[in-house]
A = this chain, B = another copy of it.
Amino acid sequence: MLKRYFPILEWSKTYSRDTLSQDMMAAVIVTIMLIPQSLAYALLAGLPAEVGLYASIAPLLIYTVFGTSRALAVGPVAVASLMTAAAVGELASQGTPEYYAAAIALALISGLMLLVMGFLRLGFLANFLSHPVISGFITASGIIIAASQLKHIFGIDAKGHNLYELSISMAENIGETNTTTLIIGVFATAFLFWSRKYLKPTLAKFVNNPKLTDILAKTGPVVAVMVTTLAVWMFALDVEGVRIVGEIPRGLPTPSVPPIDLDLWMQIATPALLISIVGYVETISVASTLAAKRRQRIDPDQELIALGAANVGSAMSGGFPVTGGFSRSVVNYDAGAQTPAAGAYTAIGIAMATLFLTPLLHFLPKATLAATIIVAVLSLVDIGAIKRTWVYSKTDFTAMLATILVTLGFGVEIGILTGVSLSIFLHLYRTSRPHFAVVGQVPGTEHFRNINRHKVIVSPTIHSIRIDESLYFPNAKFLEDTINNAVANNKEIKHVILVCPAVNFIDASALESLEAVNLRLKDAGVCLHMSEVKGPVLDRLKRSHFLQDLTGKIHLTQFDAVCSIDPDCANQAKNEARP
């Protein structure tokens, strides 16, 4: 029991010096990657740069205790930061204490929601976001994020939470572009794109140690940060209008309980829920991918608890919403992280940076952070997935396209809500039509097959319907209608047989439908039978009045059922058996 909620008790038992050194190595690489990213995502969320660092300390320590994934790296990520900016931006202006307080509250509420879902074991709810919808949403979010960072590259002001607002706002202010900023921004972006693709092979030519190459290859963003910061400092470019990060308070955040503010909590409840779900879906997908590679298990419900606790921890240490990051976790895994302890070491690395490196970041230009974000999020834009979905299924493609267009045009909140609604709607639509087939006897056998696909014998007075699914309330009505229509269209029918080999369950609604069908058929002078009913289903039916009221009988096999009504059936089976 204790081990279920504290997986650390399990893996720490076998923690060895080997594991320690592997985890430490992974932590070094992830720390190098995480410093510029956490600053950049705080910027994207409209928060002071240090908040990004705060969100990369406590949450990582907490995930180490509660997480079941060996390689997941939690912290601020792009999509959740954008969603934070969209949600908080509606309540307060950037830079005010209210804005920061709302971001903290968002992490708190989102964390509490995840915890509740975890204790109620509601992880399965995340399945109701279909992949094309999630993929479309992330692609659209990537585009909006990239667009929102262009203002920093140009050194201008621009506002907006969707592509339309951003374009209008950019177009109005493009005249005030700061050339120095633009040069830094373009240089940084170009360098980062280059380093992402070519830094590792270039380094490999000079360095013989592959581990070292791996580490150095991840330093692209750090190099960009250092070079541009130095340039601003040396040539006093901030005086020329290049916007910089400025004073970052030195020292660790003081743990504190966020104030209780029910009004605020009500206002952010919906975005908090959306951030929780989107964050959880991303987390669980990367965690299960990495776990499967090493034949390890993750517990989806415990992941809800771990992620929830991490967010509550973030809120209590002045941070904003965190989730498991995709690229960061892959780097962690590739660098050899063996246990969640790697996350704790990363947290220590970030804490050291917060204590000692922050004065060096004073002259860091915002354009460099924007470049980091742009390069990172453009990998979220997955045009290939759109094409593949178009080829594979037009229905799924429609849902995906709608999600993309609504997200781009109206922002992330309405976008993801549209996606979720569309997903559930499609699901309800599909499940409201159970798969069934009208069947007839295959000549010379005791088998019954679909009359549309096989040459079969059908008695004119018998209508046999094979139901290929369990019966419950969404599809019960459709079965009712199907039988009613069949009987209304063919006045010869005197017997209806429901063949139930695939019915694993009949709920109370479906039972009532069957009772209604039985009564109506009785009034219309038609007898209702059932065949091949599974044992547990029959046991349950015995608890109701249905079997007493049934006008026909329950038969073991469909062959028995038809034979009991039409003796010719048995002859058919024998006749052609001797050719």
Contact = CB atoms under 8 A, between A and B. Distances in A.
Contacts of A292: 484, 487-488, 516-517, 520-521, 523-524
Contacts of A392: 508, 511, 540, 543-544
B427 A431 contact: yes
Contact of A488 (B297, B393, B478, B545): B297
Contact of A432 (B124, B294, B388, B521): B124
Contacts of A413: none
Nearest to A535: B453
Nearest to A135: B512
Nearest to A526: B295
Contacts of A575: none
Contact of A127 (B476, B484, B544): B476
Chain B CB within 10 A, most for which of A288, A292, A476, A487: A292
A132 interface: yes
A485 B125 contact: no
Contact of A125 (B428, B468, B489): B428
Contact of A389 (B389, B474, B476, B508): B508
Contacts of A295: 487-488, 491, 524
Contacts of A395: 507
B291 A428 contact: no
A127 B474 contact: yes
A424 B427 CA distance: 11
Contact of A508 (B125, B393, B475): B393
A509 B473 contact: no
A469 interface: yes
Contacts of A489: 297
A90 interface: no
A129 B424 CA distance: 15
A469 B472 contact: no
A433 B468 CA distance: 16
B509 A297 contact: no
Given A507-B130, A516-B289, A427 B473 contact: yes
Copies of the polypeptide in the assembly: 2
A555 to B, nearest CB: 21
A477 interface: yes
Interface in A153-182: none
Contacts of A423: 473
A69 to B, nearest CB: 12
A128 interface: yes
Contacts of A545: 388
A296 interface: yes
A54 to B, nearest CB: 33
A293 interface: yes
B543 A391 contact: yes
Contacts of A445: none
A288 B520 CA distance: 9
A397 to B, nearest CB: 8
A571 interface: no
A119 B291 CA distance: 48
Given A469-B469, A484-B297, A543-B392, A509 B289 contact: no
Contacts of A289: 516, 520
Interface in A420-443: 423-424, 427-433, 435
A391 B391 CA distance: 49
A502 interface: yes
A564 B517 CA distance: 48
A560 interface: no
25 contacts: A124-B429, A127-B476, A127-B478, A128-B473, A128-B474, A131-B473, A131-B513, A132-B508, A292-B487, A292-B488, A292-B517, A292-B520, A292-B523, A293-B520, A293-B523, A296-B488, A392-B508, A392-B544, A393-B507, A395-B507, A396-B509, A424-B424, A424-B428, A427-B472, A468-B502
Interface of A: 124-132, 288-289, 291-297, 300, 388-389, 391-393, 395-397, 423-424, 427-433, 435, 468-470, 472-478, 480-481, 484-485, 487-489, 491, 502, 504-505, 507-509, 511-513, 516-517, 520-521, 523-524, 540, 543-545
Smallest CB-CB A-B distances: 7 pairs: A292-B520, A396-B508, A130-B473, A131-B509, A124-B432, A293-B523, A127-B477
